[in-house]
Amino acid sequence: MDLGLKTVKKRKNVYIWRQQKNIQVFYVGKLCKDENLKKGTIKIFEKKRFRGNKII
């Protein structure tokens, strides 16, 4: 899954964010080891949207 996002890895959680006009979309995901895929896939379990510092 490639969303064209910047990823920041911290421990086991993966933080992904993307600028969308003036809304900042922020995903929190976990790296899941997939046996079929050699690379770990990111399972997103939380999505937050920010406009400035306010959560939408």
21 Cβ partners below 8 Å, 6+ apart? none
DSSP 1: -
Terminal-residue alpha carbon distance, the chain: 24
| Partners of residue 33 on adjacent β-strands | none
Tokens at 28, concatenated: 């929190």
Percent residues over pLDDT 90 in the chain: 0
C-alpha separations of 55 from 17, 21, 41 in Å? 14, 15, 26
pLDDT digits over 14-38, tens only?
A: 555 666 566 566 666 666 555 555 5
- Give the global pTM: 0.27
